[in-house]
């Protein structure tokens, strides 16, 4: 079977078997000015086709002679409802060493496999096509319905909309909030993007500063209950949903850990970025995103999928393709290449020196730290080491152990791992690919923290954190820093 022919170069067609499907295809191709030959064994049907000025002739497509009849055709569409006849036609064409591009109709997965083995280039299963079409129509209809619901909430909002991102927000959460703010502005609703924690990761700071995104620390903002409405975006990672106010809008790519009530909810686990969901709403509301919104959303998708190398879905790709022409790619490049601070470099160096590897899992102690966000950067950097699928880096700041973890291992959910390891003595949150934990130092070690016993606490916490993490991952720790053990996972 030749691969030298492409659809764009093809100009002559043959349709074998002209029932309702074949007739519809023939009409469309003829309207496009294509040269179409129709073969069908039903002579009365052939006469009817000729009466419509279609080029048709009587031919049993199961007859081996069919290969000669269509020898001068570039594309062969075998669309009979008789699958055995379709198999015979494919077999005849391929045995004649025909190089035509062959599209054939199957009836079920078994015949689909058989026709592929016979040499068909494309095999169509009508039931699958109908199901796919129905799902696309359902998705489109559901989005339209959801958009109307969201519009109703925005139109009825009296006052400013508070958009709450998850704690220590990442680009996906910030971008989704920016996009929702842009949608709200179309309904003359002002919005404040609010967050808890810090924006400490250098790429995240560069993202916010370069794009000029206006964010409000929750500690400096008015109480959420005083806003006209409250939206949570990409918030499941925060874990805690008791925000002290009624939730009007909840949009996320993952289910929250606890049940809650919201006037409007859109949770889609079939995408990898909440920015993808908001891009769909931008399209549904027929908005042309400005450079800031488009660049934010595109970066949010790219950051969450690690430049489309992790858990990327078709929806993520189509959303990115839509955003691409609207985005400012100079700003995007500036965001993606921030300089590394001396504090982050120190944490990374310490984490590299103190790493312990068990199988494909790495755990490291960065010691005493001043910038807890540097832990996330170190965990991301160490995940790029050869053979590593999960990395966790922890450090001590004042009286607390902070830990950040990243994973590309499809067998584990790193957020669940951290919860299993530390939720009984601290706070842990995250999802399948990343997570964070905070553990009170004195509670973890059983010793009250003071300046005089910092080194002792560091030693005790290092051993305990490694052991609990490796146990939660299902591997055995060797108990020492700087190890490169190759024990299995």
Q: Indicate the pLDDT class of residue 5, thresholds 50, 70 and 90.
A: very low
Does the pLDDT of residue 8 top 50, yes or no?
A: no
Number of Cβ within a 10 Å radius of residue 461: 20
State the average pLDDT for the chain: 84
Q: How high is the pLDDT of residue 207?
A: 86
Q: What is the CATH number of domain 342-473?
A: 3.10.310.30
- pTM for the model stands at 0.58
Superfamily of domain 140-335: inorganic pyrophosphatase (n-terminal core) (3.90.1640.10)
- The pLDDT tens digits for 41-98 are 999 989 999 988 899 999 999 999 999 999 989 899 999 989 999 999 999 999 987 6
Lowest-confidence region among 189-203, 248-262, 407-421, 445-459: 445-459
* Domain locations in the chain as residue ranges: 12-124, 140-335, 342-473
pLDDT at 228: 94
Q: Residue 278: pLDDT above 80? A: yes
pLDDT tens figures, 393-446: 998 887 788 999 998 888 888 888 998 888 888 888 877 788 888 888 765 555
Tens of pLDDT, residues 261-277? 889 999 988 899 999 99
Stronger pLDDT, 255 or 278, i.e. the higher one: 278
Question: Is 487's pLDDT higher than 60?
Answer: no
pLDDT digits (tens, 9 = 90+) for 136-159: 767 767 888 899 999 999 999 999
Name the CATH superfamily housing domain 12-124. NAD(P)-binding Rossmann-like Domain (3.40.50.720)
């Amino acid at each position: 079977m030749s691969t030298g022919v492409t659809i764009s170069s093809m100009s002559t067609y043959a349709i074998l078997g002209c029932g309702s499907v074949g007739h519809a295809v023939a009409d469309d191709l003829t309207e496009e000015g294509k040269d179409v030959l129709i073969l069908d064994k039903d002579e009365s049907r052939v006469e009817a086709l000729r009466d419509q000025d279609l080029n048709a002739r009587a031919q049993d497509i199961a007859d081996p002679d069919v290969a000669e009849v269509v020898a001068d055709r570039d594309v062969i569409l075998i669309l009979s409802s008789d699958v055995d006849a379709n198999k015979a036609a494919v077999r005849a064409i391929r045995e004649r060493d025909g190089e035509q591009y062959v599209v054939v109709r199957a009836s079920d997965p078994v015949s689909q496999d058989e026709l592929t083995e016979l040499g068909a280039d494309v095999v169509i299963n009508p039931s699958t096509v109908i199901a796919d079409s129905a799902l696309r129509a359902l998705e489109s209809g559901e989005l339209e319905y959801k958009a109307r619901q969201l519009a109703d909430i925005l139109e009825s909002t009296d006052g400013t909309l508070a958009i709450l991102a998850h704690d220590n927000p990442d680009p996906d959460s910030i971008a989704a909030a920016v996009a929702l703010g842009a949608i709200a502005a179309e309904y003359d609703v002002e919005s404040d993007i609010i967050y808890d924690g810090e924006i400490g990761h250098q790429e995240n700071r560069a993202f916010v500063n370069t794009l000029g995104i206006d964010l409000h620390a929750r500690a400096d903002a008015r109480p959420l209950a005083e806003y006209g409405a409250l939206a949570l975006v990409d918030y499941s990672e925060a874990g805690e949903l008791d925000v002290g106010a009624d939730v009007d809008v909840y949009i996320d790519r993952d289910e929250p850990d606890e049940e809650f009530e919201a006037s409007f909810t859109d949770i889609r686990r079939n995408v990898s970025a909440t920015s993808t969901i908001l891009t769909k709403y931008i399209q549904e509301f027929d908005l042309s995103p400005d450079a800031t919104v488009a660049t934010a959303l595109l970066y949010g998708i790219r950051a969450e999928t690690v430049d489309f190398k992790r858990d990327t879905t078709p929806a993520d790709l189509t959303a990115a393709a839509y955003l691409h022409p609207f985005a400012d790619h100079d700003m995007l490049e500036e965001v993606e290449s921030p300089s590394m601070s001396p504090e982050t470099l120190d944490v990374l160096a310490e984490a590299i020196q103190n790493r312990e590897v068990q199988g494909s899992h790495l755990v490291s102690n960065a010691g005493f730290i001043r910038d807890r966000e540097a832990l996330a950067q170190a965990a991301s950097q160490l995940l790029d080491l050869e053979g590593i699928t999960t990395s966790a880096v922890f450090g001590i700041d004042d009286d607390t152990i902070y830990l950040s973890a990243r994973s590309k291992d499809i067998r584990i959910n790193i957020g669940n791992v951290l919860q299993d390891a530390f939720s009984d003595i601290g706070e842990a949150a995250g999802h399948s690919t990343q997570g964070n934990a905070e553990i009170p130092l004195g509670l973890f070690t059983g010793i009250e923290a003071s300046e005089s016993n910092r080194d002792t606490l560091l030693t005790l916490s290092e051993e305990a954190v490694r052991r609990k993490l490796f146990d939660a991952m299902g591997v055995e720790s060797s108990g020492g820093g700087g190890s490169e053990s190759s024990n299995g996972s």
